[in-house]
Every structure is written in C-alpha cells, then in structure tokens.
C-alpha cells in the first residue's frame, strides 16, 4: 500500500485528520506522566507505542528490526538503517491500521500499545543530534535581508554557486513547546561607538524546514547528489530564533554566533521521506542569467523530483490576544518551493570535502520566504528592520517579538487525489531575560 491511495483507517480520528492520517505515520519520541521516553508513531489523535507493540508481537521481519532500532527513546539507530527499514515499518503500520485490518482486534486487546495523543503526553527531540547545520537556501529571504544592508547588491557573488551554511549549536535544540528565554548579549545601539550589554531588544523568528539525516558517510567520502536522497530520513519544522541586534554587532567576519545559539525549536514528529513522495516536484527553474549548479551538484533526477511542495505557515499569539480570546494572527504563508537548492544538494555539498555526516544530524533550510509580503518568514523582512510595524487585531503593533508572544509554525501538503498530511506544530513562547 502506498500514499497514492485514499485508504481510510479503522482509527476514526485519523480519517480527515489535519496532520496525521494513515498516509503520514510520522515518528517521534514521547513520554507520559514523567515516564521514560520511548518511540512512537502518530495516527490521528493517537500514538502507537512501538515498544509495547513489539512486546505484543505486532511486528516481524524487517519491520521488527526497524522497531528494535527505536528502543531506548531515540530514532538514531533507525535512521542509520536507511530507507529499506523505514519502508518495511511503514508498510506494516499501514497493514495494522488500514480500515478492515485483520489485526485490529489484536491491537485493541493491547491497550498499552495505542495511547491518546493527549495534553499529558510530552514530546521530546526524536534523535540525539550530534551536529546541526543551518543553511541559507531561501533566496527571497537572502535578497530581502541583503537589501537592508546592500540595496544595490543584495546577493553576494557566491550565493548562486554555493549552498551557504554555518555550523549551529546542537546543544540548544529543543522540541516544540519549550519556552524561549530572551537572550542577553552585546549590541551596538544606534548612534553609539561602543557596545553595551543587556537583553536583546530585536528578537525574531525564522520559518524553516528541518532535514533529518539518515545513513551517514565515512570521513573523507563524499555523498554523490544522485544518492543523497537516500541519506535523508525525514523532515520537520524549525524555528531559528534570532537576536537581530546581537547579530548585527557580532556577525562580521564569521557570521552568526550568540545571536542564534540560545535556542532552536523544532516540531517533534519526523515526517518520513516516504510520506512526502507524492508531494515531490521538479526543482523550480532558475531565473534567466543565473548559473547552473556545478557538476557535482547537478543530477537530472534530482532536478526533476528533488523539490518539495509543502505549505508553511507562521502565526503570532500575544498575551493580549489570549486575554481577548482572539485567534492567532497569520504573519506569513510560504512554501518550500522557495528553496534555491534541493535537500539532496545540501547533503552533497556538506559532504563534498569529506565531512562526516551521521544519523540524527539535523539541517535547517534557512528562512523560506516567498516573493510577496504575505509570504515573508521573519519580522526582519516583514517590518523592514522595524520601520513598518505589524498591526494586530488586539490593537497592538509589533516591530519585533515581546515577552509573552508565542510563535506557531505549521505545515501542510496537499495534492488532488492524495490524502493531505501535516507536520504538527512548532511552538515557542517568549519569556523575560533572567
């Protein structure tokens, strides 16, 4: 069974679920009431506890091998097994949950296996992240930010040749729902010649796609772009929180440092590469006059199917909006088709010098703004550096984020003839600096 069907599940909440129908089956790590974290699969409003399912005899063959690799509350070992193991697990899960399944009674008899995705369920990072790299592949974002500093030359000459990235801080990656404490640091106030120290005044979000690495490579070995897709286990949402005033003072000559490393939020469910197969697209044509990628980054199949059609949404909920029972305010609605480079090209470029990638490494795409104002993925762009505040239904305005503000990222894939799937949410609420 594949995603190309509109098959229904005997779990009623999965049918028409906005994020987790039968065709998705994302992987994650959860705990209940302070229990030891364990691996699970989201289906509708429920989680299948993979460890309990294994004990109940629900898995066999390659699918059993895959589940055994998830024991211990982390998905690293499963990622390392590669695509074959994920496909075997996916096929078995569909067999378990499809409408009319002969295994329904066996699952229902094991009440410990299928748990409600309830408020007392705590989600954790799905893998131990050894390394985190943040790229800069949203060309509209790159142009918008460049215009703020270089109006006549927003893109530097290397941008259209090199998938730009920097080494981020894995130690402060956190799952959705973790509070975002306002960072402190050095800034250079306008009109001053010496920096001052204190809380960030220009706190921002960045709307990004997270890319989970599956099988890695040996140090010294490059991953060909034609094979790079096989090294991607799945995807998530990622908010690269940014202290813009700290960033402006520190970023030359080596780029972001403390302005980015205080926290990075991700959605906790790993939407597998297999679940996204129906939503692959041809990589958008580069504008006339842009250079073609160098040979090591160019593969015909990747250009034909390497892009993803994922709608990305960012919303803001302030304290005043909560008190007035107002809905979150949409700040932007964009799409991963705004990526200038494919995910496979990022994997290949990262490894081309012999750098070792490992199962559970995480990439950020960079901010994925679109060409229209309604598609921007950061306040830096939306307010043009604070010059044009955003007006909210509560009567408030925002140049940058204030304490009590909550940013919510969502994503959705749709295509005629296919069940839509989503990513769950990536949330973070700003709290005051210590």
For residue 90, the SS3 value is helix
Spans of the chain, pLDDT less than 70: 1-5
For residue 79, the SS3 value is helix
pLDDT at 5: 67
Q: Report the C-alpha gap between 378 and 327 in whole angstroms.
A: 20
Q: Report the C-alpha gap between 50 and 68 in whole angstroms.
A: 9
Does 231 qualify as catalytic in the annotation?
no
pLDDT at 50: 97
Are 58 and 113 within 8 A, CB to CB?
yes
Q: Report the C-alpha gap between 385 and 387 in whole angstroms.
A: 6
For residue 130, the SS3 value is coil
pLDDT at 151: 86
Which is catalytic among the residues 141, 329, 349, 350?
Answer: 141
DSSP letters for 283-329: PPPPPTTPPPPPGGG--HHHHHH-EE--EEEEEEE-HHHHHTTPPPE
For residue 334, list its beta bridge partners: 312
Find the angle CA(7)-CA(82)-CA(354) to the nearest 5 degrees. 140
**pLDDT digits over 110-123, tens only?**
877 899 988 789 99
pLDDT at 3: 45
Q: Which domains does the chain have, with CATH numbers?
A: 12-124 (2.30.30.230), 132-431 (3.90.850.10)
pLDDT at 6: 84
Who contacts 218 (Cβ-Cβ below 8 Å, separation ≥6)? 356
Who contacts 86 (Cβ-Cβ below 8 Å, separation ≥6)? 66, 78, 214, 233, 272, 273, 274
**pLDDT digits over 316-337, tens only?**
999 999 999 999 999 999 999 9
């Amino acid at each position: 069974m594949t995603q190309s069907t509109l098959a229904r599940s005997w779990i009623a909440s999965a049918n028409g679920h906005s994020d987790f129908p039968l065709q998705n089956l994302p992987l994650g790590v959860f705990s209940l009431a302070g229990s030891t974290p364990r691996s699970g699969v989201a289906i509708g409003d429920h989680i299948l506890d993979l460890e309990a399912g294994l004990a109940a005899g629900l898995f066999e063959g390659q699918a059993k091998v895959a589940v055994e690799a998830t024991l211990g509350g982390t998905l690293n070992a499963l990622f390392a097994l590669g695509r074959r193991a994920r496909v075997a697990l996916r096929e078995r899960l569909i067999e378990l949950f499809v409408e009319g399944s002969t295994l329904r009674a066996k699952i229902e008899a094991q009440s410990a296996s299928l748990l409600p995705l309830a408020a007392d369920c705590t989600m954790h990072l799905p893998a131990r992240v050894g390394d985190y790299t943040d790229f800069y592949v949203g060309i509209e974002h790159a142009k918008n930010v460049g215009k703020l500093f270089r109006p006549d030359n927003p893109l530097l000459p290397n941008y259209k040749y090199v998938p730009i990235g920097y080494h981020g801080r894995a130690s402060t990656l956190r799952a959705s729902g973790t509070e975002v404490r306002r960072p402190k640091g050095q800034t250079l106030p306008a009109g001053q010649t010496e920096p001052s120290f204190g809380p960030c005044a220009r706190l921002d979000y960045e709307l990004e796609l997270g890319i989970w690495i599956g099988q890695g490579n040996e140090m010294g070995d490059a991953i060909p772009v034609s094979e790079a897709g096989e090294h991607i286990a799945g995807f998530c949402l990622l908010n690269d929180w940014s202290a813009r005033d700290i960033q402006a003072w520190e970023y030359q000559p080596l780029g972001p440092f403390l302005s980015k490393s205080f926290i990075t939020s991700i959605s906790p469910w790993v939407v597998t590469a297999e679940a996204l197969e129906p939503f692959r697209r041809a990589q958008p044509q580069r504008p006339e006059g842009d250079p073609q990628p160098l040979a090591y980054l160019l593969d015909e199949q990747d250009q034909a199917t390497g892009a993803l059609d994922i709608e990305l949404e960012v919303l803001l909920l302030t304290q005043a909006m909560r008190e007035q029972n107002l809905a979150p305010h949409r700040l932007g609605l964009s799409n991963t088709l705004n990526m200038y480079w494919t995910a496979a090209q990022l994997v290949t470029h990262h490894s081309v010098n012999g750098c070792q990638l490992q199962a559970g490494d995480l990439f950020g795409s960079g901010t994925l703004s679109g060409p229209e104002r309604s598609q921007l993925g950061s306040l830096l762009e939306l307010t043009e550096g604070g010059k044009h505040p955003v007006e909210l239904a509560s009567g408030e305005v925002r140049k940058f984020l204030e304490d009590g503000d909550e940013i919510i990222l969502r994503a959705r894939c749709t295509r005629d003839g296919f069940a839509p799937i989503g990513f769950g949410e990536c949330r973070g609420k700003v709290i005051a600096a210590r």
